[in-house]
Amino acid sequence: MKSATALIAFVVVACSALAQTVTTSATVPITLDHNRIIVDVYFPVPDGGKTRVRGWVDNGNADLWISGRLAKKLALQPVGSPAETSPEKPRKVQPPRELQIGTMTVQLSGLKEATAVPGTVIGGGTSAEINLPSTVLRNYDVVVDYPNREFTIGAPGTIHFQGSPVKPNINGQNGLIQIPGKIEGETHNLALDLGATVSFISSDLLPKWQRAHPKWPHMTGAVGPANMWGMKDEASWEMLRVPQIQYGGLTLKDVVVAPFPVKELDWFEKRAGVATIGLIGADALLKYRVGLDYGHSAVYFEQLSKMPPINMDVVGLILHPEPDERYTLLGVADYEGKPSVPEVRVGDILVSVDGGRAKGATMGQVWSLLEGSPGTVRTLVLEREGKQFTVNAPVCRFLAPEAKKASSKAHARQR
């Protein structure tokens, strides 16, 4: 009898220890969609079950977003007066209490409210129904392993961080991170924003750098990862490739940067709580494992890949995701002084790329169809005024670094 009692006690203790082990941290696979870190998250629902949705790891945003569909499914109550809670507009709701990532329970109860975005996702062209903002992530240890496509989240002190530590400025109120960087011999703060698809620099600075360095690759129009949300002004963005940025202990080379409008940068700076000129986005960090040790105010970078991603070898379209899940054209980027796809017009609807349908796809899925080796021809089906037509569109190497321009042209000629 005693041995049976001892065995039961041992099993209880072992199970308890196992439960504690599996809930202190979790590592799950990443879907890297348009450079956005997308993971599966689970919620308990009122009927006693749980629902799985796609979550976006967004440490550069302090606000919790949730889709209107998920808010309804979780029976989240509105915050504010009825006049402020129209289902056709973003509205404030009570946040969920918790969510689950792998075996890890992540608490959301410390948040006062969430913004419910009408529809099935929190942004056009993405599959995410919720984001994981800095105000949630700051309570945990976090690792984003881009080359191995893994995301780890754990209780403070449970993760052994690897790589070189950097001392950042972390806003104590919202968890937003700024790291000193050096560009053109001058030191500036730059946010670490793994939720941004590309890097952004003050629109006051970019024209000055371009005038001072006319050989730096530049172009008009946000293609590839710079086509972030499909906002109207993305078609006129003056893009630049900066040869080198010192960022913490890193030397980031050939960084694609988009302009950060002054008005938006002022708001961004106030939210950060320190002077800043912009942010380093995911596109510049795809070779690295990035660790966020909020508890000890440290960020870790470990380079796992030596091959830089070819981020701007694409068909030169600028796209806008519509509410009906179709994609329309905002513009066409020039290549070597001419429109890269002269047959298309603003407002055309992109139907398919090499047979792959655009409607219902995420922005990342569409751009994966539009990328390739320079000189490759993609067959586009478009719609204009109710009629479909076909265009053969070349893949171009936009913002090619000087060292790669010659090999890119030779490769194109061979094709």
User: What's the confidence (pLDDT) of residue 402?
Assistant: 66
Nearest to 103 by CA among 160, 11, 20, 161: 20
Nearest to 371 by CA among 401, 408, 396: 396
Q: Which domains, and CATH codes, for the chain?
A: 25-153 (2.40.70.10), 161-303 (2.40.70.10), 313-414 (2.30.42.10)
Per-residue pLDDT of the chain (415 residues; tens, 9 = 90+): 445 555 444 444 444 444 444 579 999 999 999 999 999 999 998 888 899 999 999 999 999 999 999 999 999 999 976 655 566 789 999 999 999 999 999 999 889 999 999 999 999 999 999 999 999 999 999 999 999 999 999 999 999 999 989 999 999 999 999 999 999 889 999 999 999 999 999 999 999 999 999 999 999 999 999 999 999 999 999 999 999 999 998 999 999 999 999 999 999 999 999 999 999 999 999 999 999 999 999 999 999 998 776 689 999 999 999 999 999 999 999 999 999 999 999 999 999 999 999 999 999 999 999 999 999 999 999 999 999 999 999 999 999 986 555 444 444 444 4
User: What's the confidence (pLDDT) of residue 309?
Assistant: 67
Q: Which two tokens stand for residue 28?
A: 């799950």
- Phi and psi at 187, nearest 5°, equal -95, 130
User: What's the confidence (pLDDT) of residue 85?
Assistant: 56
Round to whole Å and give the CA distance between 391 and 276. 43
User: What's the confidence (pLDDT) of residue 86?
Assistant: 63
User: What's the confidence (pLDDT) of residue 71?
Assistant: 96
User: What's the confidence (pLDDT) of residue 307?
Assistant: 78
Query: 3-class secondary structure for the chain?
Result: CHHHHHHHHHHHHHHHHHHHHHHHEEEEECEEECCEEEEEEEEECCCCCEEEEEEEEECCCCCCEEEHHHHHHCCCCECCCHHHCCCCCCEEECCCCEEEECCEEEECCCCCCEEEECCCCCCCCCCCCEEEEHHHHCCCEEEEECCCCEEEEECCCCCCCCCEEECCEECCCCCCEEEEEEECCEEEEEEECCCCCCEEEECCHHHHHHHHCCCCCEEECCCHHHCCCCCHHHHHCEEEEEEEEEECCEEEEEEEEEEECHHHHHHHHHHHCCCCCEEECHHHCCCEEEEEEHHHCEEEEEECCCCCCCCCEECCEEEEECCCCCEEEEEECEECCEECCCCCCCCCEEEEECCEECCCCCHHHHHHHHECCCCCEEEEEEEECCEEEEEEEECEECCCCHHHHHHHHHHHHHC
* CA-to-CA separations, 282 to 33, 110, 192, in angstroms, rounded: 11, 27, 9
Round to whole Å and give the CA distance between 233 and 346. 13
User: What's the confidence (pLDDT) of residue 410?
Assistant: 43
**Residue 270 is which amino acid?**
K
Q: Which two tokens stand for residue 409?
A: 């042209």
User: What's the confidence (pLDDT) of residue 389?
Assistant: 98
